[in-house]
Amino acid sequence: MLVIGLTGGIGSGKTAVSDRFARHGAPVVDTDQLARELVEPGQSALAEIVAYFGPDCLDDAGRLHRARLRERVFADAEGRRRLEAILHPRIRNLVQERVAALTTPYCVVVIPLLAETGKMDLMDRVLVVDAPETEQIRRVMARDRVSETQARRILAAQAGRAQRLALADDVLENVGDLEALDRQVAFLHQRYLALAAAWPA
């Protein structure tokens, strides 16, 4: 099966794009979603996180306090590496497992931080959703009701546009309206079906 890695900066439109692939019948494996599943109570990853970061990173109900942990690793490079060492191998294994169970011509794996963490072996092509930074900031402010300063802070902590675009096999310029996005995804869907038909089994 042809595996498309989909990435893009915050607010670039990854979810809007992956939702549209799903409507065309392409399965979407979302690594953010897998990361959330992996830290559910009872999971070994959560136990390792608590062992390293302490019980402070849990809320009263014993669930991961994501905001607190995020603040903690934002200022602590060693903690961030530790958290990545706990989560990334597990995410990779889960992606492999989910993709292996699929039977469609192609699938989409959404990996927001691909430029930061590197491409996974199983990805055959990288699709970068790209938008100007001013547009990313505008969308994030509108969607998450954060200030421009906060939106800029998140953007500054991510890889830059050029770094992401350097990894792209395909680029989706998400600069028009949602109807334009429909057409762009429909075009890519046909392209991936054609590529998948010629893909080694």
* 181 binds ligand ATP per the rule CB under 6 A: yes
Structure-token pair, residue 193: 């079906």
Could you tell me the smallest distance in angstroms from the CB atom of residue 197 to ligand ATP? 29
Binding range to ligand ATP, per CB under 6 A, among 10-18, 41-49, 50-58, 79-87: 10-18
**By CB under 6 A, residue 155 contacts ligand ATP:** no
Query: Residue 31, interface with ligand ATP (CB under 6 A)?
Result: no
Cα 6 to Cα 119: distance, rounded to the nearest angstrom: 10
Q: Does 36 bind ligand ATP (CB under 6 A)?
A: no
Site for ligand ATP in 95-134 (CB under 6 A): 112
Instruction: Give backbone dihedrals phi and psi of 167, rounded to 5 degrees, phi first.
Output: -95, -5
- For position 83 contacting ligand ATP by CB under 6 A, the verdict is no
CB of 66 to ligand ATP, least distance (A): 14
- Strand, helix or coil for residue 5: strand
Residue type at 49?
I
Residue 7 makes contact with ligand ATP by CB under 6 A:
no
Single out the residue of 51, 165, 166, 178 in contact with ligand ATP (rule: CB under 6 A). Answer: 178
Report if residue 16 touches ligand ATP, rule: CB under 6 A: yes
Closer to ligand ATP by Cβ: residue 10 or 171: 10
- C-alpha 152/C-alpha 35 separation (Å) is 24
Give 93's Cβ-side CA count (13 Å radius): 6
Cα–Cα distances in Å, from 57 out to 24, 87, 115? 39, 15, 27
Written as one string, the DSSP assignment of 111-177 is -TTHHHH---TT--EEEEEE--HHHHHHHHHHHH---HHHHHHHHHHSPPHHHHHTT-SEEEE--S-
Given candidates 2, 3, 5, 15, which one binds ligand ATP under the rule CB under 6 A?
15
Residues binding ligand ATP (CB under 6 A): 8, 10-16, 112, 139, 143, 174, 176-178, 181
